[in-house]
Amino acid sequence: MNALHVFGEGHGPAKRNGQSNSMNKTAKIAGSFYLAFILTFVLASYLRSQFIVSGDAAATAHNIAANELMPRIAFIAELVSALFFLLAAWALYVLLRPVDKNLALLFLLLNLGGVAVECSSMLNLFAALPLLSGADYLAAFSAGQLEALALASLNLYKDGVMVAQLFYGTWLLPLGYLVNRSGYLPRWLGVLLILDFLGVMIWFLQFFLLPGSDVLSYPGLAVSFIAEVSLTLWLLIKGVKDNGPASTEGG
């Protein structure tokens, strides 16, 4: 009989309590990262709304020239929010890996794919700044041309972020399934996340197939807000139930 047998299996309740405490800690870490993601994303979105005027290149250029620091802060805030989102996905992977490690790895990779697409698209957000910098090498272009190029760059950024929604939406499907099957997170939360997947997919398809019909995506985006805020608050406040993982894997 080795020490692992004596101190592991021989103290079942203590082992379970230790596992529950560890899972609760992981849940709260995941909730903290998710909350940090939401706050930094909201900050970045607010700052962008202060200088980007849809369809108006001159007004957008004027806003950027008036306060060049604002788009720079927006750029950094969104980069940081993407990092927090990836860290939240990693913590959720650790939390839900006992249920099904393959599906947990799948949602982590999907999240990583979305982060990669979003971060690469953000270069278009930053590219508007040198276009409006007044540098000597831009003298070949008129002011109107540079303003149009800057707005086109910002529009490409928006398109890239919407491409990332394909990954950000799809990761919610295995995540919701694992939450629903876990036994230590509420089943209704898993259902909400699956509905969140549907909402994001409707938004993605509407953006590319039916531009100008934004109203079609509003109900799904409302569900997304409820689902992701609920997940964040539950992880932060409630943590996990004192149950063992309900593994779906055989053996």
User: What are the pLDDT digits (tens) for 107-140?
Assistant: 999 999 999 999 999 999 999 999 998 888 888 8
Q: Are 194 and 171 in contact (CB under 8 A)?
A: no
Q: For 17-35, write each residue's pLDDT tens digit.
A: 656 788 999 999 999 999 9
Arithmetic mean of pLDDT over the chain: 89
Structure tokens at 116: 């990669």
- Say which range, 83-97, 168-182, 228-242, has the weakest mean pLDDT: 228-242
Number of helical (H) and strand (E) elements in the chain, helices listed first:
9, 0
Task: Give how far Cα 238 sits from Cα of 130, 186, 187, 226, 242, Å.
Answer: 47, 10, 14, 17, 11
pTM reported for the whole predicted model: 0.87
3-state secondary structure of 205: helix
Q: Are 147 and 61 in contact (CB under 8 A)?
A: yes
CA distance 208 to 204: 7
Q: Would you tell me how many other CB atoms lie within 10 Å of the CB of residue 120?
A: 12
